[in-house]
Amino acid sequence: MELLDGRKLSQKIESELKAEIETLKSKHDVVPGLAVILVGDDPASRAYVKMKESACERVGLYSIVHKMPVTISQDEILNTITMMNENPYLDGILVQLPLPPQIDKDSLLEAIKKEKDVDGFHPYNMGRLVMGMDSFVPCTPLGVMELLAEYKIDVKGLNAVVVGASNIVGKPMASLLLNAGATVDICHIYTKDLKAHTLNADLVIVGVGRPDLITADMIKEGAIVIDIGINKVGDRLVGDVSFDTVAPKTSYITPVPGGVGPMTIAMLLKNTVTAAKARRC
Ligand code: GUN
């Protein structure tokens, strides 16, 4: 069993991006900029946004966090997005999810200029991803693909199972795997026999937010296991996989923390630099 070390790879990517950002600044007078909209005071969202902000600082990206109260109206957020769309110094716009219930998230995500959609959640970019065309790709699934590539894991012909069918993780993850030649099952809350799917899989990718959802009896000997879950159990962070018992059966597995999490942030930085180069260089 080998650990897929997302922390190490994200540090390598960050140092490459830092050098690239220095060149963008000296050669083109461009400092890529990221705007984050944070609504309400959900502790997890605040923590994620803080991590994104610190990462921007580490690599030399300009970033702003626009905080809004939980009672905010749809129109007020929409106006903010419109302003950010027009701001030439902002290359990426990210609306931190989830949003409060009075807000229609889909119409906000669709209001973001597609050239600034560094989260890859705009239907234009999602559609292009499904079609295998060049697009902004959601950061978590993109980070998983980078991690697999770093360890020279070719998914072509593998039986892959994606557990979780969200727009931000499961669906784009499945599209990326399919585009790369894997045979993909997508499992979700209504799946009848999850174990029947996972036991047949060479590659299991899970991100639903349930500790111990994936246990050793569900995993084929030698499978690759990617854990996207982040759950707080007491004061410990754990994924969706029972790591201690599953890990010995796998060929590769991601730890939590230190697996996919840091890759997500690195991909956000990368998408923002890509957006800046496309718009301003
Ligand atoms: N909430 C949980 N994950 C994400 C993410 O990757 N992007 C945004 N915008 N919100 C999230």
CATH code of the domain containing 84: 3.40.50.10860
Domain presence at residue 180: yes
| 105 in the same domain as 61 | yes
Atom of ligand 1 nearest to the CA of 139: 6
Cβ atoms of residues 266 and 239 within 8 Å? no
- Check residue 150 and give its pLDDT: 98
**Which residues have a Cβ under 8 Å from the Cβ of 29 and sit 6 or more positions away?**
none
Q: Rounded distance, CA 96 to CA 107, Å?
A: 14
| 206 in the same domain as 160 | yes
* Residue 235 backbone phi and psi in degrees, to 5: -110, 20
Instruction: Report whether residue 94 contacts ligand 1, using a CB cutoff of 6 Å.
Output: yes
Domain presence at residue 210: yes
| 143 in the same domain as 104 | no
Domain presence at residue 63: yes
Would you state the structure tokens that stand for residue 224, as one six-digit string? 């690759």
Ligand 1 geometric centre to CA of 129 (Å): 18
Which pLDDT band holds residue 230 (cuts at 50, 70, 90)?
Answer: very high
Which pLDDT band holds residue 122 (cuts at 50, 70, 90)?
Answer: very high
| 254 in the same domain as 187 | yes
In this prediction, residues 143-162 reach a mean pLDDT of 98
| 200 in the same domain as 146 | yes
Which pLDDT band holds residue 85 (cuts at 50, 70, 90)?
Answer: very high
| 143 in the same domain as 36 | no
Q: Rounded distance, CA 160 to CA 197, Å?
A: 9
Which pLDDT band holds residue 72 (cuts at 50, 70, 90)?
Answer: very high
The protein residue whose alpha carbon is closest to atom 9 in ligand 1 is 96
In this prediction, residues 85-92 reach a mean pLDDT of 98
Q: What CATH number is given to the structural domain containing 196?
A: 3.40.50.720
Q: Percent of the chain, pLDDT > 70? A: 100
In what helix (H) or strand (E) does residue 68 lie, and over which residues does it extend?
A: strand 62-68
Domain presence at residue 132: no
Which pLDDT band holds residue 100 (cuts at 50, 70, 90)?
Answer: very high
In this prediction, residues 183-192 reach a mean pLDDT of 98
Mean model confidence pLDDT for the chain: 98
Q: pTM of the predicted model, to two decimals? A: 0.98
| 186 in the same domain as 78 | no
Would you state the structure tokens that stand for residue 111, as one six-digit string? 């209001």
**What is the extent of the structural domain holding 96?**
29-113
Instruction: Report whether residue 203 contacts ligand 1, using a CB cutoff of 6 Å.
Output: no
* Residue 118 backbone phi and psi in degrees, to 5: -70, -15
| 254 in the same domain as 177 | yes
| 50 in the same domain as 150 | no
Ligand 1 geometric centre to CA of 66 (Å): 15
| Number of structural domains the chain divides into | 2
